[in-house]
């Protein structure tokens, strides 16, 4: 029985807490690590160390290593926190060189070569890594494990990638017990109750938006059966979560399955508050779904809108129209759901005029909240490769690849200066949230929901 320490790098404070959206910063235990640990439950001893919770996280890491004495340390990262993850792995090896280090995440999957010069990494997972830890701990020969990079006698070995994607219905439940879930608190902007748990009901997206990386989960939509989804919801509630957020790329991509999930919740009379916080496509929803979702406990639905300019939507291959966006949001409001719109500035083909159109369009919609991001050309996306070919990527310092940081230019846009994108980023927030129509609508909504105190608190804490 091995001792496994799962480490979550401290990325949240950089991505959110030092930006103008800090009041809505999400606060969840890590789903990726919980999912990986689910494979080991009852077979090995797992412990989670969430670096977000400790200002002096390096001291906490050293203390935990000395007390827990893990055989294996596991971590995963996105591009923005890859560097800090490596710093953590180096500390691990400095404390005990015999600890086996296993890392993964979208940044490594996108560019596997980044792990080659880092001697402290023993094994790196490329792609879906769910199956890798059990094989390693069962002492399977590393040469027989697909999708890993490892060191053998000082030589880098890269195995062939796994050819098939996982049947996610066969995945065990995530191991949430290894977290102290009571310490996680989301704001009232994104939750009704705390703590909030995360659930993944599907993987993969069939669409090819040019700002999205498909290298980990692919373009084939795989979904969990409704009965399995609701059983996992019940498990989350038993653990102590008071609300659940669905983090799929698009929960409604198979809308029939999404409706069946709602029907199964109703059939089991499950009392659960939930949200589609990660966004759904506006062309895969209808009035029946919204009505079912509301009855089944859903209180908030986010929409991936991206732009209020049809030419830009076409350029980024979003394959939706402004008319469909408006219709979907009005139908959601008709079912008395909170609506949340995601918008991006600095997309392919963007101009000052198109950004003005996005702000104007956002203000025309009956959204309860809107979030504006600066488009970041993440490695592995068509947008990144487009800019790279043209020599327009200005920085490969991935720590700065944060959608809410405005001070460090990441790329040179074909039509816009970075200062123009930055200008419209702040302009969008100000014009949307300081609009008289929005303030009046939000006041009525918050009076009914009991959120007036929270709204005032968040307003005063925001950077306008």
CA 71 – CA 219 distance, rounded (Å) = 36
Model confidence pLDDT, tens digit, residues 250-286: 899 999 999 999 999 999 999 999 999 999 999 999 9
In the prediction, which pLDDT does 16 show?
Answer: 63
Token digits for 438? 């929005």
pLDDT (mean) for 64-73: 98
pLDDT at residue 165 greater than cutoff 90: no
Tell me the backbone φ, ψ of residue 234, rounded to 5 degrees.
-60, -40
233, part of any domain: yes
pLDDT at residue 22 greater than cutoff 90: no
Q: Are 302 and 258 within one domain?
A: yes
Cis peptide leading into residue 35 (ω within 30°) = no
Q: Are 266 and 396 within one domain?
A: yes
The string of DSSP codes covering 129-180 is: -TTHHHHHHTT--GGG-TTEEEEETTEEEEPPPPSS---GGGSPPP-GGGS-
In the prediction, which pLDDT does 444 show?
Answer: 93
How many domains, the chain? 2
Residues 342 and 306: beta-carbon distance below 8 Å: yes
Which residues are paired to 203 by β-bridges?
Answer: 222
Expressed as residue numbers, the domain containing 122 is: 3-158
Q: Are 287 and 416 within one domain?
A: yes
H/E run at residue 340: strand 338-345
Q: Are 95 and 238 within one domain?
A: no
190, part of any domain: yes
pLDDT at residue 24 greater than cutoff 80: no
In the prediction, which pLDDT does 46 show?
Answer: 97
> What global pTM score does this model have?
0.94
Q: Are 412 and 278 within one domain?
A: yes
Model confidence pLDDT, tens digit, residues 286-324: 999 999 999 999 999 999 999 999 999 999 999 999 999
Tell me the backbone φ, ψ of residue 34, rounded to 5 degrees.
-65, -40
For 96-215, strand residue ranges (E) read 100-104, 123-125, 148-152, 155-158, 196-199, 202-203
453, part of any domain: no
Model confidence pLDDT, tens digit, residues 427-451: 999 999 999 999 999 999 999 999 9
Token digits for 429? 């927030």
In the prediction, which pLDDT does 332 show?
Answer: 98
Q: How confident is residue 461, by pLDDT bands cut at 50, 70 and 90?
A: confident
In the prediction, which pLDDT does 163 show?
Answer: 82
Q: Are 125 and 240 within one domain?
A: no
Q: Are 144 and 264 within one domain?
A: no
Residues 342 and 304: beta-carbon distance below 8 Å: yes
pLDDT (mean) for 422-429: 96
Q: Are 111 and 76 within one domain?
A: yes
165, part of any domain: no
Percent of the chain at pLDDT exceeding 90:
87
Q: Are 229 and 116 within one domain?
A: no
Q: How confident is residue 462, by pLDDT bands cut at 50, 70 and 90?
A: confident
In the prediction, which pLDDT does 13 show?
Answer: 64
Q: Are 337 and 424 within one domain?
A: yes
Residue 140 sits in a domain whose CATH number is 3.40.50.280
Q: Are 189 and 237 within one domain?
A: yes
CA max distance for the chain: 67
pLDDT at residue 37 greater than cutoff 60: yes
Q: How confident is residue 164, by pLDDT bands cut at 50, 70 and 90?
A: confident
267, part of any domain: yes
199, part of any domain: yes
pLDDT at residue 423 greater than cutoff 70: yes
Residues 60 and 18: beta-carbon distance below 8 Å: no
More confident residue, 285 or 15: 285
463, part of any domain: no
pLDDT at residue 18 greater than cutoff 90: no
pLDDT at residue 142 greater than cutoff 60: yes
Rg over alpha carbons for the chain, rounded to the nearest Å, is: 22
35, part of any domain: yes
Mean per-residue pLDDT of the chain:
94
Token digits for 353? 């005029």
Q: Are 274 and 138 within one domain?
A: no
Residues 10 and 51: beta-carbon distance below 8 Å: yes
Q: How confident is residue 203, by pLDDT bands cut at 50, 70 and 90?
A: very high
pLDDT at residue 33 greater than cutoff 80: yes
Q: How confident is residue 422, by pLDDT bands cut at 50, 70 and 90?
A: very high
CB under 8 Å to 117, separation ≥6 — which residues?
Answer: none
pLDDT at residue 17 greater than cutoff 60: no
Residue 325 sits in a domain whose CATH number is 3.20.20.70
Which residues are paired to 341 by β-bridges?
Answer: 303, 370
Taking the CA of residue 393 as centre, how many other CA atoms within 13 Å lie in the half-sphere pointing to its CB? 19
């Amino acid at each position: 029985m091995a001792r496994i320490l799962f480490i979550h790098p401290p990325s949240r404070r950089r991505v959110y807490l030092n930006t103008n959206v800090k009041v809505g910063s999400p606060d969840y235990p890590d789903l990726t690590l919980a999912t990986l640990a689910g494979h080991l439950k009852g077979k090995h001893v797992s412990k989670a160390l969430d670096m977000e919770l400790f200002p002096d996280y390096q001291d906490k890491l050293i203390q935990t290593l000395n007390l827990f004495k893990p055989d294996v340390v596991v971590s995963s990262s996105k591009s923005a926190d890859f560097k800090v993850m490596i710093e953590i792995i180096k500390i691990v090896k400095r404390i005990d060189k015999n600890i086996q280090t296993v890392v993964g995440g979208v940044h490594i999957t996108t560019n596997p070569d980044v792990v080659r010069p880092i001697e402290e990494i023993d094994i790196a997972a490329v792609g879906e890594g769910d199956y890798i830890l059990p094989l390693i701990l069962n002492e399977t020969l590393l040469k027989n494990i697909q999708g890993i990079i490892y060191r053998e006698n000082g030589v880098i070995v890269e195995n062939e990638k796994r050819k098939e994607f996982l049947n996610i219905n066969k995945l065990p439940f995530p191991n949430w017990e290894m977290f102290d879930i009571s310490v996680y608190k989301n704001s009232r902007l994104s939750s009704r109750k705390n703590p909030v748990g995360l659930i993944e009901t599907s993987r993969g997206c069939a669409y090819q938006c040019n700002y999205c990386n498909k290298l980990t989960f692919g373009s084939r939509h795989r979904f969990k059966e409704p009965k399995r989804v609701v059983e996992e919801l019940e498990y989350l509630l038993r653990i102590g979560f008071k609300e659940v957020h669905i983090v799929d790329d698009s929960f409604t991509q198979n809308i029939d399955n999404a409706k069946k999930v709602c029907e199964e919740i109703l059939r089991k009379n499950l009392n659960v508050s939930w949200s589609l916080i990660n966004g759904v496509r506006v062309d895969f929803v209808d009035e029946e779904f919204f009505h079912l979702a509301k009855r089944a406990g859903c209180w908030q639905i986010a929409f991936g809108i991206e732009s209020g300019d049809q030419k830009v939507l076409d350029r980024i291959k979003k394959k939706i129209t402004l008319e469909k966006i408006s219709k979907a949001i009005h139908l959601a409001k008709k079912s008395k759901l909170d609506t949340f719109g995601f918008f991006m500035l600095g997309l392919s083909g963007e101009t000052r005029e198109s950004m003005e159109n996005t702000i104007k369009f956002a203000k025309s919609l009956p959204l309860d909240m809107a979030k504006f991001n600066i488009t970041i050309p993440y490695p592995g996306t068509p947008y990144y490769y487009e800019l790279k070919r043209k020599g327009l990527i200005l920085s490969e310092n991935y720590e700065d690849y944060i959608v809410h940081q405005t001070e460090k230019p990441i790329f040179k846009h074909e039509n816009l200066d970075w200062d123009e994108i930055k200008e419209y980023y702040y302009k969008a927030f100000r014009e949307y949230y300081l609009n008289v129509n929005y303030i009046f609508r939000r006041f009525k909504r918050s009076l009914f929901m009991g959120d007036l105190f929270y709204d005032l608190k968040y307003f005063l804490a925001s950077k306008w």
